[in-house]
Amino acid sequence: MELLFAATIGILVSTGVYLMLRGRTFPVVLGLALISYAVNFFVFVMGRLDVGHAPIIRVGVDQYPDPLPQALVLTAIVIGFAMTAFVLVLAVRANIELGTDHVDGMPQREGRDE
């Protein structure tokens, strides 16, 4: 199971980095989102799910799962959504102001297919 988690996180990060290296703004936003999903998944997996234990703390129960990773991931999801919305608005504004959706703001040169 650890190999599957590691492979999933690796695929998410590598795809996110690939998309962030593209020259357009929308793939950059998707790459940032994929990397944030990979980080959230990594933090959640580090919390280790406890099978067969109580999901909440009750009197007389000694074993319960750690709620901290779940709280951190929930907070990171909210912050990631806000950052994605901000970056999308910033990209739309840059597209309107500059007339192009390239991340460097320069128009595409002739003869290049991207």
Inside any domain, residue 89: yes
Q: Report the predicted TM-score, pTM, of the whole model to 2 decimal places.
A: 0.75
Q: What is the mean pLDDT of residues 78-102?
A: 88
Residue 83 has a CB neighbour count (10 Å cut-off) of: 14
Residue 114 has pLDDT above 60, yes or no: no
Domain that includes residue 32, residue range: 2-49+66-98
pLDDT score, position 103: 77
Q: How many residues does the chain have?
A: 114
User: Is residue 84 domain-resident?
Assistant: yes
Give the model's confidence band at 55: pLDDT under 50 very low, under 70 low, under 90 confident, else very high: low
Q: What is the pLDDT of residue 98?
A: 82
Q: Is residue 55 included in any domain, yes or no?
A: no
Report the C-alpha gap between 61 and 68 in whole angstroms: 18
pLDDT at position 68: 82
Q: Are 56 and 64 in contact (CB under 8 A)?
A: yes
Count of domains for the chain: 1
Burial of 2 (0-12, 13-18, 19+ CB in 10 A): exposed
Is residue 76 included in any domain, yes or no? yes
Residue 91 domain-assigned (yes or no):
yes
Query: 36 in a domain, yes or no?
Result: yes
Whether 93 maps to a domain, the answer reads: yes
**In-domain check, residue 57:** no
The Cα-based distances of 53 to 4, 61, 73, 74 in angstroms read 24, 9, 21, 21
Strands (DSSP E) contained in 1-114 are: none
At 50, list the tokens.
């406890």
Mean pLDDT of 98-104: 81
